[in-house]
């Protein structure tokens, strides 16, 4: 090994042993800042959704960008809180080890059945501490991997939407309108199809890249989508995570975890909306009534002053677009 390489390896090994201090500092500051940022991003979401109306498709993309930022902040906060909890357990375990050393099963005088079971499951206290250390480090890296993936998804949508708008304008200038529309839809479907294939390869931890006959055809599209999603930024973290058994298990949980959090985040509870007690079309939503809608909520389609008409006529507001 070269002297410079030896110094670099020694330096990195030292950083690995002391990285927990940096992790705690980053986690604490990030949670504090991102909780405040979530409220500000919600304000941006409301304002941009109104200002971007009428931009022919780009309005939804702009609003989606803010939503992705909010989801990314939420993921960071959730994961870093989990990281702080695990690091707290890890620090307490190290302190306990200093006081009492390893677990002495002989002193517990357990029945043989329980003694064999606990020795097999716990093994040693040092192994427990090492496992906690590994989990904490992976959770910390996993947090920012999720954020990078969300931004890659946003970049993919931005590029495909932009290409759709550009090709539509270009084809309409050169070709008849119906032909231009068919070509635009065809190009969009091709991009979505290969984007889905790229996603399948990602969530299956590179399964498609292991098929030799498919690699010749898949490689150009892989390079293209890697470029537009900037996946080279987080690719080393991703492959370093999945090159061992424990990391692959975490990688397989990536997509279900993201979907579950987004699903829970999109849920809302509205009390007393069913009239009289039936589901379906017999429901009342507060967003359509001025006296019930929250001040920060925007009017999506239309609204009326109240559920009750008191002045003999009904005022109706329809949102202009």
Taking the CA atoms of 321, 151, 22 and 86 in sequence, report the sign of the dihedral they define.
Answer: positive
**Max Cα-Cα span within the chain:** 90
pLDDT at 279: 56
Q: Give pLDDT, residue 274.
A: 61
pLDDT value of position 22: 65
Report the phi/psi class of residue 272: left, alpha or beta, with left for phi > 0 and alpha for psi in -120 to 50: left
- Cβ burial, residue 15 (10 Å; 0-12/13-18/19+): exposed
pTM of the model: 0.65
Closest CA to 202 of 263, 150, 163, 164: 150
- 300 burial type by CB count under 10 A (0-12 exposed, 13-18 middle, 19+ buried): exposed
Q: List all residues 6 or more positions away from 177 whose beta carbon is below 8 Å from its beta carbon.
A: none
Residue 304's DSSP bridge partners are 289
Neighbouring C-beta atoms of residue 66, cutoff 10 Å? 19
For strands 302-303 and 317-318, give the pairing.
antiparallel
pLDDT at 308: 83
What's the pLDDT at 119? 82
Tell the burial category of 100 from Cβ atoms under 10 Å away from its Cβ (0-12, 13-18, 19+): exposed
* Predicted pLDDT at 289: 85
- The pLDDT profile of the chain, 321 residues, written as one tens digit per residue, is 555 555 556 655 555 555 666 666 777 767 777 777 777 777 776 666 666 665 555 566 677 777 777 777 888 888 888 888 888 888 888 888 877 777 777 787 888 888 888 888 887 788 888 888 888 878 877 877 888 888 888 888 888 777 777 777 777 677 677 777 777 777 778 888 888 888 888 877 778 888 888 888 888 888 888 888 888 888 888 888 777 777 777 767 777 777 777 777 666 666 666 655 555 556 677 778 888 887 767 777 788 888 888 878 888 888 776
């Amino acid at each position: 090994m070269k002297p410079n390489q030896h110094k670099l390896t020694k330096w990195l090994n030292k950083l690995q042993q002391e990285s927990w201090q940096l992790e705690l500092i980053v986690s604490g500051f990030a949670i504090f800042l991102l909780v405040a940022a979530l409220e500000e991003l919600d304000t941006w979401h409301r304002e941009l959704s109104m200002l971007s109306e009428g931009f022919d498709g780009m309005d939804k993309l702009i609003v989606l960008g803010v939503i992705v930022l909010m989801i990314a902040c939420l993921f960071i906060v959730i994961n870093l809180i989990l990281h702080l909890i695990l690091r707290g357990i890890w620090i307490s375990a190290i302190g306990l080890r200093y006081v009492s050393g390893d677990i002495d099963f002989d002193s517990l005088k357990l029945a043989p059945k329980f003694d064999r079971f606990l020795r097999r499951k716990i093994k040693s206290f040092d192994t427990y501490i090492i496992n906690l250390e590994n989990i904490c480090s992976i959770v910390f890296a996993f947090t920012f991997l999720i954020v990078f993936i969300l931004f890659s998804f946003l970049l993919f949508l931005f590029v495909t939407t932009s290409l759709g708008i550009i090709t539509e304008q270009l084809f309409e200038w050169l070709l008849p309108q119906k032909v231009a529309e068919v070509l635009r839809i065809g190009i969009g479907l091709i991009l979505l199809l290969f984007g889905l294939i790229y996603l399948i390869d990602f969530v299956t931890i590179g399964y498609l890249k292991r098929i030799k006959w498919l690699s010749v055809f898949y490689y150009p599209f892989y390079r293209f989508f890697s470029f537009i999603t900037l996946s080279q930024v987080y690719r080393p973290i991703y492959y370093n995570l999945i090159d061992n058994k424990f990391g692959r298990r975490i990688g397989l949980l990536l997509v279900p975890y993201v979907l579950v959090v987004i699903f829970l985040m999109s849920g809302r509870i509205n009390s007393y909306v069913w009239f009289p007690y039936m589901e379906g079309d017999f429901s009342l939503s507060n967003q359509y009534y001025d006296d019930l809608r929250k001040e920060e909520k925007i009017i999506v389609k239309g609204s009326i002053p109240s559920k009750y008409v008191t002045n003999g006529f009904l005022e109706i507001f329809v949102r202009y677009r």
